Amino acid sequence: MGTPKELRILYENIDLPGMYTLEVYQQHGGYKSLEKLFEIEPDALIEMVKESGLRGRGGAGFSTGLKWSFVPKDVEPKYLCANADESEPGTFSNRYILQQKPHMLIEGIIIACWALGIHTAYVYVRGEFTLGKKRLDAAIAEAYQAGLLGKNIRGTGFDLDVYTHPGAGAYICGEETGLIESLEGKRGQPRNKPPFPAVQGLFMKPTVVQNVETLSNLPFIVQNGVEWYKNLGTIYKDTPRGVDPMNTGTKLYCVSGHVERPGVYEVEMGLTVRELIEMAGGVRGGRQVKAVIPGGSSAPVLTPYELDVPCDFTCLQMNKTMLGSGGVIVMDETVNTVEALLNLMEFYAHESCGQCTPCRNGTPWVRDITRRIFEGRGKPGDVDHLIEVANMIADVDAFTWNTICVFGIAVAWPAVSFARKFRPEFEAHIREGRPVVLPVEEAVTPPEENYAWPQTIPEAVRRPTWDY
Amino acid sequence: MAKITIDGREYEVSDGLSAVQAAAEVGVLIPHYCYHPALPAPANCRMCLIELTPPGAPGPLRQLATACTTRVADGMVITTNSPRVKRGREMTLEFLLIHHPLDCPTCDEAGECDLQDFTFLFGPDRSKYQEAKRVPPRKTLGPYVEIFKTRCIVCTRCVRFTEEISGTRELCLVNRGVHDEIDIYPGRELNNKLSGNVVDLCPVGALLSRDFLYRSRPWFLQKVNSICPRCSKGCNITVEYRDGEVVRLRPRYNGEVNDFWMCDDGRFGYHYLNSPQRLRRPMVRQEGEEPEPTVWPQFFDAMERAVGELGGEQFAVVASAWNTNEELYLIRRFADEVLRTKRLGLLAAPIGQEERFPKFVIEGDKNPNRTGAQLILGEAVSTDDALWEMLAEAKGALIFGGIPELSLPERAREILAGLEFLAVVDILPSELTALAEWILPGTGFTEKEGCFTNSQRRVQALERAMEPLGNALPEWQLLSYLANVLGADWSYSSVRQITQELAETVSAFEGATPETIGKRGYVLGSGPKPPETPLKGNDAYAAMFWP
């Protein structure tokens, strides 16, 4: 197997000076995929993407090709929305693409639009990404000048306009229908589904919303082919119904928190959480790991007992958490888990859009309970109370919710997982009436209780070899 | 029709309905707050949860569905009473109540509050909430509407009303998350002519009518069905009254007239009925003096004398476009058969401005029954300027007023002052009564029975809420007595009898019998009315959920 190594594809040459300009980008193979692209029939391209196993990198991990195949062919106009509202706490890979390789995103947009017959694309950029948006706007202007965007691209008769739109910094506008509402000039509140955006999205027309990282994969699939792409990452066999076995390609893991070298690591999917921490230089000062959030703050937290789960869509899903946005937050033994949860709950209570009842009233409720415990006003039974209220927003065990969007489960997951997995520390905190940092072995609920144990790791058809 | 199953029983329901409406059609209550059939469904309250099996699916969906966004289709199976649905409703209600002040004892909505009712029916009996409640301030949104933000559940019905129905867009959501509040845009005021409707729409006690604020607990109110007299649209309304006073008018659903709405002119334009100035007994004015109270026989004698001296044909009879069809019919008969005069006039409030909203129109004709008057009195009846010219030729006149805030032209006042005999039936002191020798108390629209014919030629019935004030006589009785004093032989014993006679003798009113008019009205010339069927669609919805 070898030791996991970085494999830079999206992030190749990302730190090269001037990589955000058309000139440098093209010197290093940029826009090469367009030479092949217009030879490929759109339907064949959709099939290629489906075949490649590419899954949405924004959080849900839905098959990109499958999503494209739901878009009706006979409705005009259709839209593409590139989701650059990267706002999941612990996630920072898209921001760097916007700043350093905006042309890669544009190239991906051209490919997606060709496949779907789309002539208007919007890039919804998080409001805080001022530099990223500046560079992207400049790159789009360059692309227009070079005939890569606009009318009759490269003499193919294909027209495409790309616009950027700054968000105002709301987390919920990263949810695809919240993004669409915001783009339409309304309050960023997610829509009821169905209808899904592929059928009725922006301006009630078929719309594909795709994460920046997902789109950035497309040039490499077109250029190097499906087989090349499928030879990266992990593919499982015999996964349960509803669990996609494909984890092809590389993933941009954003490792942050108590590691020696935080940063974005591009690795083939298939390494374990433990290996990822090692890749980031290990836990700072050689301390012990206490908790790891594997996929952005919404993902259920992992204990030190769960670090040998492969960090991919399939395995994390089968072990009751998720790869999400790939934001890996590492917490060491100095962390008080009540405070860590409070930090997250403050965020969610602040960011709930307030549209639907369970989330509007439930999220601050969970925050208030957590804060009460943290401030030493906890009462016996509060841990169960916290879990019960969080489960009212979204039932994490049944995986059902009565909310309009998945924000509900994104709150309940961390709340319930922290409270269950670090119950001894929560109880000690309540008992003592002050923050208590228990040693890792004592802070964690024994693995036999309450969570996936032993871990389920299905047999793989393909795993990375790391021998490059 | 779609064949669907609700709670294990099969039903046929109308096509194109939401599951909430379909269930209402068959008598199953699905609780909801944000949904309203006249507005888009945002599905934000999460109260109308159902277990849904789409047509052809092997079993119910994994997640509960919202009934408001579910369109019924053949073969659909809906469950509203399973443990999952009950639990879902309980959780939603518990969330809705955590910041609610539970101040029902001082809340106007108590007794007609969906939050109260559904909590009683479907809610948990206690709350787990131990944290602090939010207490946002109370605020005046406009001339008629006050918001109590603590009680608001942010269903946004009111916001959507100002977007979709009135198109005026004064209301919005401010802040985010638990800090969400309904408010007016900066510098705006909720002052459109339809603003009162947001109070009816509000499912809780957040938006309250400033006019009705703290005036009565709703359960002390008596109610009758009526028709708004403030314009020729004929909005179907409920008159709510207590201790002889009208305290509130609210719209009744009629999909062919006013939908769920009425305008503020009508809704709040009832105060004249409660005025202490109302005429309560007949009065007579000696030349140059203040009017003195008198009794009805004195007037009948005086009228008999005047007709004898001046001659019936010298008398003018002026009806009002605020008279009911039945009153107009008797006025016509009185002029034709008793006085035998050709001098027949019609007094009407001046035509105002028609006001159009995206989904509502306020008619420009500010009279409830000009259509009826023209059909019964004839197109040739003297009105406006011709009315005064006609009166200038007459020696005596009997005028029916009853039009609040009526103003007469200078010329009219001169002509009326020149009459040898002038009797005016009115409900308040007016420019007419100021000139009259005989001032006779009539009835307001809540004190009489009868029908108005609206501008669509729909005959709609008023029910009587209250007795006529003091010694006032309903106009049909006054006319009957007067006719008999003057030698006729009228023997009407009820308004219903007059409605029937009108339908039988005036060709335009053929078919408009008390039975066909019913609660929904009868459009003149529409032929026999189809037999009554169980309520469908919005009618069924309104019967279950609308005042």
Distance CA A302, CA A322 (A): 10
For tokens 């010339």, the residue is B525
Can you give the pLDDT at residue A468? 83
> Structure pTM?
0.95
In terms of CA atoms, which chain B residue is nearest residue A401? B63
Is the CB of B176 less than 8 angstroms away from the CB of A357?
no
CA distance A121 to B38: 35
Domains and CATH numbers, chain A: 22-231 (3.40.50.11540), 245-332 (3.10.20.600), 337-449 (1.20.1440.230)
Report yes or no: B104 and B115 within 8 Å, Cβ to Cβ. Answer: no
Which residues are A223's β-sheet partners?
none
Three-state secondary structure call for residue B41: coil
Place of tokens 């309970």: A369
Per-residue burial over B524-547, b if 16 or more Cβ lie within 10 Å, else e, is beeeebeeeeeebbbbbbbebbbb
Q: Cα separation of A75 and B316, whole Å? A: 70
* Cα A343 from Cα A349, distance rounded (Å): 10
**Interface with B, mutate which of A356, A382, A383 (most B CBs under 10 A):** A356
DSSP secondary structure string, A130-186?
HHHHHHHHHHHHHHHHTTSSBSSGGGSS--BEEEEEE--S-GGGGSHHHHHHHHTTS
Quick one: average pLDDT of A63-76? 96
Asked if the Cβ–Cβ distance from A360 to B154 is below 8 Å, we say: yes
In angstroms, the Cα distances linking B305 to B291, B301, B302, B532 are: 20, 6, 5, 52
State pLDDT tens for residues A431-461.
999 999 999 999 999 988 767 778 889 999 9
Check CB contact of B122 with chain A, cutoff 8 Å.
no
Beta-carbon separation of A354 and B175 below 8 A:
yes
Angle at CA of residue A72, ends A68 and A77, nearest 5°: 100
Q: What distance in Å separates the CA atoms of residue B380 and residue B344, rounded to the nearest whole number?
A: 9
Inspect the interface and report whether the beta carbons of A400 and B175 lie closer than 8 Å.
no
* Contact call for A354 and B180, based on CB within 8 A: yes
Question: B159: closest CA among B138, B116, B190?
Answer: B190
- A352 to B88: CB separation less than 8 angstroms, yes or no: no
**Radius of gyration of chain A from its Cα atoms, rounded to whole angstroms:** 22
Look at B173 and A401 and tell me if their CB atoms are within 8 Å: no
Locus of tokens 């590139």: A82
CB atoms < 10 A from the CB of A159, how many? 13
Going by the DSSP 8-state scheme, the letter that residue B293 receives in this structure is E
Q: What are the residue ranges of helices labelled H in B59-113?
A: 83-97
SS3 content of chain A, % helix, strand, coil (to 5): 40, 15, 45
Inter-residue contact A294 to A328 (CB < 8 Å): yes
The whole-angstrom separation of Cα A193 and Cα B69 is 10
Interface test with B, best of A171, A352, A365, A388 (most B CBs within 10 A): A365
Could you report how far apart the first and last alpha carbons of chain B are, in Å?
27
**The predicted structure's pLDDT at residue A450:** 67
Give the DSSP letter of residue A204. G
* Residues of B in Cβ contact (< 8 Å) with A362: 95
Q: How far apart are CA A259 and CA A274, in angstroms?
A: 12
pLDDT above 80 for A342: yes
Give the rounded distance of the alpha carbon of A27 from its chain centre.
30
Q: Fill in the DSSP letter of residue A251.
A: E
Of B49, B92, B173, the CB nearest to A187: B173
| DSSP-assigned letter for residue A285 | G
Give yes or no for a contact between A249 and A307, defined as CB atoms under 8 angstroms apart: no
Answer left, alpha or beta for residue B154, where phi above 0 means left and psi between -120 and 50 means alpha. left
CB A154 within 8 A of CB A144: no
CA distance A21 to chain B (A): 39
**Mean pLDDT calculated for residue range A337-351:** 98
Interface residue ranges in chain A relative to chain B, Cβ cutoff 8 Å: 170, 187, 192, 349-358, 360-365, 368-369, 372, 385, 388-389, 392, 399-404
- Contact list, B177 vs chain A (CB under 8 Å): 349-354, 360, 363-364
Q: Which regions of chain B are under pLDDT 50?
A: none
B19-48 per-residue burial string, b: 16 or more CB within 10 A, e: under 16: bbbbbbbbebebbbbbbbbbbebbbbbbbb
Q: What share of chain B is helix, strand, coil (3-state, %, to 5)?
A: 30, 20, 50
- Mutual orientation of helices A212-224 and A93-100 as an angle, nearest 10°? 60
Closest-CA distance, B3 to chain A, in angstroms, reads 23
- Among left, alpha and beta (phi > 0; psi -120 to 50; other), residue A2 is left
Question: Considering CB atoms only, which of A187, A351, A357 is closest to B95?
Answer: A357
Within chain A, what is the greatest distance between any pair of CA atoms? 73
d(CA B256, CA B79): 32
C-alpha angle B289/B292/B297, rounded to 5°? 130
Residue B83 CB burial class (10 angstroms; 0-12, 13-18, ≥19)? exposed
Chain B residue numbers with beta carbons less than 8 Å from the beta carbon of A410 are none
Contact residues, chain A, for B63 at CB < 8 Å: 400-402
Q: What's the pLDDT score for residue A1?
A: 57
B53 CB contacts (<8 Å, ≥6 apart)?
A: B59, B60, B61, B76, B77, B78
Kindly report, residue by residue over A166-200, the tens digit of the pLDDT. 999 899 999 999 999 999 999 999 999 999 999 99
Q: Is the dihedral of CA A91, A95, A97, A100 positive or negative?
A: negative
Pairing of strands A460-462, A233-236: antiparallel
Determine how many CB atoms are found less than 10 A away from the CB of residue A168: 10
Are the C-beta atoms of residues A98 and A105 closer than 8 Å to each other?
yes
Residue environment code for B144-169, b if the CB has 16+ CB neighbours within 10 A, otherwise e: bbbbbbbbbbbbbbbbbbbbbbbebe
Of A170, A400, A402, the CB nearest to B62: A400
Which SS3 state, helix, strand or coil, does residue B118 take? Answer: helix
CA angle, residues B93, B96, B97, in degrees to nearest 5: 90
Give per-residue pLDDT as tens, B221-250.
999 999 999 999 999 999 999 999 999 999
Q: CA A430 to CA B141: how far, in whole Å? A: 45
Residue B19's pLDDT is what?
A: 98
Tokens describing residue A383: 């841990």
Tell me the three state secondary structure of residue B133.
coil
For chain B, domains (ranges, CATH) are: 2-95 (3.10.20.740), 283-523 (3.40.50.740)
Cβ pair B42:A368 closer than 8 A: no
pLDDT score for A80: 98
The pLDDT assigned to A300 comes to: 96
Q: At what angle do helices A93-100 and A102-116 cross, to 10 degrees?
A: 100
- The token pair that represents B32 in the structure block: 């909801």
Q: In whole angstroms, what separates CA A375 from the centre of its chain?
A: 32
Query: Does residue A92 register a pLDDT over 70?
Result: yes
Dist CA B336 CA B322 (whole Å): 21
Query: What number of C-beta contacts closer than 8 Å exist between A and B?
Result: 89
Quick check: bond before A77 cis, omega within 30? yes
B302 is written with which tokens?
């005086």
